[in-house]
A and B are shown apart, each in its own frame.
Chain A
Amino acid sequence: MSGRRPGRARRGLGAGATWALVLVLVATFVGPLLWMGLTSVKSYGEATASPPTLWPQDVDLSAYERLLSLDGPYPVLRWFLNSLLAGVLHTALVLVVASTAAFALARMPFRGRGLVFGVIVSTLFLPAFVFLMPNYLMIDRLGWTDSVWALVVPGAAGAFGVFFLRQFMVNLPVELEEAAALDGANQWGVFRRVVLPNTRPALATLAVLAFLGNWNDYIWPVYVLFSPERLTLPAGLRLLQGAYVTDYPSIMAGAVVASVPVIVLFVLTQRFVVEGVARSGLKG
């Protein structure tokens, strides 16, 4: 929110200092990503030549031709679809469970609300690695190892989403839902027709954060997925790096496939991702 008020910024910066800052920051933070993209369209010989070339001498798309397939030992296109499916299903589940629970906790006085809230809060203080092994056993028991459900469900009831939405819903004016209630709406109607539409900005932010987190998750997919055709992109990149060693065009091509969707998503939603993070914090 505060970021939208440039008027409150401190005094200006000199033109020379500004340009130096811009150049250094862009080179530092975008440079490695450009290098990744440029390498992915070089031939193996060119990518490993010394001295390295900046611009590809001839654009060589063979890494993509080799990897963008649905089968074979390293089916990057399949991994992409797996990641996409898991991300979309996970995000949908997060939105459903977090919004309904947040509504109950924000808008309904009931006996036991404090207890429910307290239990959710207390789990915030346990680091994620504590859950890895018990959840692995749970997934194993449910027969979900090596399947998309292992990626979709376990992280969906994080306390963060509920807190984030509850915070937003608590601040909605009571009059809105009272008007709906007087019109004869039951609680479901109030939730669907009044609270959800008014929570849309928070839902959008949560959706983007949930998708990014699921898309980028590394440890969990590495341990719960086994078959090459079931992997997500991060787990697949690990396999790719182990197999291709110094075939950097191939590895970089995989990394490009894994990063382009999140970079596009970030560019499209930059404003509210950055501000959502600034307001609420989310790391790890």
Chain B
Amino acid sequence: MSAAVVPRRRPLRRGAWWTPWAFLAPFVLVFGTFVALPAVRGIWMSLHDWDYLMPSKPFVGLGNYADLFDSTSVVFQRFWDGMAATGIFVVASVPFLLTLPLLLAMALNRRFPGRTFLRAVVFLPYVLGVAVVGVLFRFVLDPNLGVLNHLLGLTGLDRLLHALGAGDPVPWLTAQPWTWVSLVGVTVWWTLGFNTIIYLAGLQDVPRELYDAAEVDGASAAQRFRHVTLPGLRPVLAFVLTMTFLASANMFGQADLMTSGGPGTSTRTALMVILDTGLGQYKMGSAAAMGYLLSIGLGLVSIANFWALRERGGGRGGGRGGGRGGRRRGARGRSAAAGGAS
């Protein structure tokens, strides 16, 4: 071996040509079997009348997709009801999950004793599974036995809700629009901490000097927020918006455990319809088509999100060039994980 190669900075090729493949083999085996192959097989299923219980699974081309747009087909109503429920949940939950964590992150970004503790407290619900959250809040929100209605009664806030048309006791899990209020509220409680942590990391990357400069120029707190914080957070906002949108569009467990899709089918989300069609009724071809149609929709909206919040030229001063290694690593890691969310 010649010593002359040692100073090169790039990793050298060592070992046989198959050495990297040997290292990749365990991953590729599992990835091929449970990620790559299923992704292709799902498309193939969606092009067939693929019923798990039937021996023959005839090719139907785009028939399963066409049925989803044909108002006379049996799947039309169920599918679009599910899509509508998912749409309502997304529209109702995303604004809260974007704004409340930002306010919280700005409060926690100030210096005071116990902020590390508070950061952990806010994040705590997120480490619980949806099953725990679902059964816990079905109890808390139980109209007669739940503690929420009791607390509302103690504070007199229930009169306000009755004035807004809520029954007595307030039917948190059995009548609209209270069911949506419950599902959104529980989801905010559960996942708020995640977005807060991401915002906090983003806030700490906004250069301190920009705030100082703004203050010297006489900018008010609102102006500093508008002209320093928001532009500095733009990539983080794009990330949080996309992740939150995808998570909300994947809502399943909360409704499954707290409302079973009711009252009626009003909270039966698209994902519940897909799983019921595919793994409940075994009509997997139709369910696969629904899944791919939904993922195309989610992909388009995600792209639109990123496009709307894309970085505009000249808008950001120090952020880019001054970024240290840690910052750049963070940013790349984030965008890498963005798609893997779901």
- Judged by a CB distance under 8 angstroms, whether B333 is at the interface is yes
Q: Complex formed: what's the CA distance from A264 to B104 in Å?
A: 25
CB-based contact A174/B10 at 8 Å = yes
Smallest distance from the beta carbon of A22 to chain B beta carbons, Å? 6
Within 8 A of B (CB), among A123-175: 123-138, 153-160, 162-164, 167, 171, 174
Smallest distance from the beta carbon of A110 to chain B beta carbons, Å? 4
Q: Complex formed: what's the CA distance from A211 to B167 in Å?
A: 43
CB-based contact A137/B26 at 8 Å = no
CB-based contact A131/B39 at 8 Å = yes
CB-based contact A125/B339 at 8 Å = yes
Contact residue among B45, B124, B140, B194 (Cβ-Cβ distance under 8 Å from A133): B45
CB-based contact B132/A255 at 8 Å = yes
Q: Which residues of B contact A278 (CB under 8 A)?
A: 197-198, 200-201, 330
- What are the interface flags for B308-342 relative to A under an 8 Å C-beta threshold, 1 for contact and 0 otherwise? 00000000000000000111011011101111111
Q: Complex formed: what's the CA distance from A33 to B129 in Å?
A: 13
Stretch at the interface among B28-36, B74-82, B157-165, B173-181: B28-36
Q: Which residues of A contact B111 (CB under 8 A)?
A: 6, 9-13
CB-based contact A22/B26 at 8 Å = no
Nearest residue, chain B, Cβ from A155: B34
Q: Complex formed: what's the CA distance from A270 to B117 in Å?
A: 10
- What are the interface flags for B265-307 relative to A under an 8 Å C-beta threshold, 1 for contact and 0 otherwise? 0000001001100110000100110011011001100000000
Within 8 A of B (CB), among A1-50: 1-3, 5-6, 8-13, 18, 21-22, 25-26, 28-30, 32-33, 35-36, 39, 47-48, 50
- Judged by a CB distance under 8 angstroms, whether A71 is at the interface is no
Report if A119-B278 is in contact (Cβ < 8 Å); known contacts: A52-B147, A160-B340: no
Q: Which residues of B contact A28 (CB under 8 A)?
A: 189
Nearest residue, chain A, Cβ from B123: A274
Q: Which residues of A contact B288 (CB under 8 A)?
A: 130, 133-134
Contact residue among A212, A258, A281 (Cβ-Cβ distance under 8 Å from B333): A281
CB-based contact A238/B131 at 8 Å = yes
CB-based contact A35/B23 at 8 Å = no
CB-based contact A279/B275 at 8 Å = no
Within 8 A of A (CB), among B229-271: 239, 243-244, 246-247, 250, 252-253, 256-257, 271
Q: Complex formed: what's the CA distance from A127 to B145 in Å?
A: 38
Interface residue ranges, A against B (CB under 8 Å): 1-3, 5-6, 8-13, 18, 21-22, 25-26, 28-30, 32-33, 35-36, 39, 47-48, 50-52, 93, 96-98, 100-101, 103-105, 107-110, 113, 116, 119-121, 123-138, 153-160, 162-164, 167, 171, 174, 177-178, 181-182, 186-187, 191, 212, 215-219, 223, 233-235, 237-238, 240-241, 246, 248, 251-252, 254-255, 258-259, 262-263, 265-267, 270, 273-274, 277-284
Name 29 interchain pairs, CB-CB below 8 A, sorted by A: A2-B205, A2-B327, A6-B115, A12-B110, A13-B107, A25-B118, A29-B124, A32-B137, A32-B189, A33-B124, A35-B136, A35-B140, A110-B17, A130-B292, A134-B39, A157-B27, A171-B325, A191-B23, A212-B127, A218-B252, A238-B257, A246-B142, A251-B135, A259-B132, A262-B127, A273-B127, A274-B119, A274-B197, A284-B247
Instruction: Known A-B contacts: A128-B250, A282-B337. Give 5 more (CB < 8 A).
Output: A131-B38, A163-B337, A218-B131, A233-B131, A263-B128
Interface residue ranges, B against A (CB under 8 Å): 1, 6, 9-15, 17, 19-21, 23-28, 30-31, 33-39, 41-42, 45, 52, 104, 106-107, 109-116, 118-125, 127-132, 134-140, 142, 144-145, 147, 150, 189, 191, 193-194, 197-198, 200-201, 204-205, 208, 211, 239, 243-244, 246-247, 250, 252-253, 256-257, 271, 274-275, 278-279, 284, 287-288, 291-292, 294-295, 298-299, 325-327, 329-330, 332-334, 336-342
